[in-house]
Amino acid sequence: MLQPVEIDPRRFCRDAQSWETRSDVSAFPRLVREFTQGELFCRVGGRADAHGGMALDLRIHGEVELTCQRCLGGLKHVIAIDRTVRLAGNEVELERLDQLPDGDAVLAGDRLDLLQLVEDEVLLSLPLAAMHATGECPV
Ligand SMILES: [Zn+2]
């Protein structure tokens, strides 16, 4: 099981650090229930611009298998997430950043768990009800 990856988000961005893992879905504490099999490649890179704005670039790719809600058979699903999450210094800034086009922001406390961030993005990207197309259940 993967352990939390706690970082200091500001330092992570300022120093342009990165973290990556290639792991079986069973190693993700909150994803293991969603997927029956598959592997995910995750990379988080920090960056800071000249104006003090900080952001994390997330890349999460992989092919996994969900459970079809209709036939309970395996359903292939491709995860392909490429997005930027900006760091907000406080609640006001968080609201402002969230309203930007393709805005996605997190409140940057002293610590941030990258594993949790990655899991959040994956869970948000999943279909509400995973199902084969009508008439395509193999059973
Ligand atoms: Zn099905």
Q: Output the CA 35–ligand 1 centroid distance in Å.
A: 15
**Range 28-48 burial, b when 16+ CB lie within 10 A, else e:** beebeebbeebebebbbbbbb
For the chain, what are the domain ranges? 6-125
Q: Output the CA 25–ligand 1 centroid distance in Å.
A: 21
Query: Model's pTM, two decimal places?
Result: 0.90
Exposed (0-12), middle (13-18) or buried (19+): which is 136, by Cβ within 10 Å? exposed
Check residue 101 and give its pLDDT: 81
Per-10-residue mean pLDDT of the chain, 139 residues long, equals 95 97 97 94 95 93 96 95 92 90 85 95 93 90
Q: Output the CA 39–ligand 1 centroid distance in Å.
A: 21
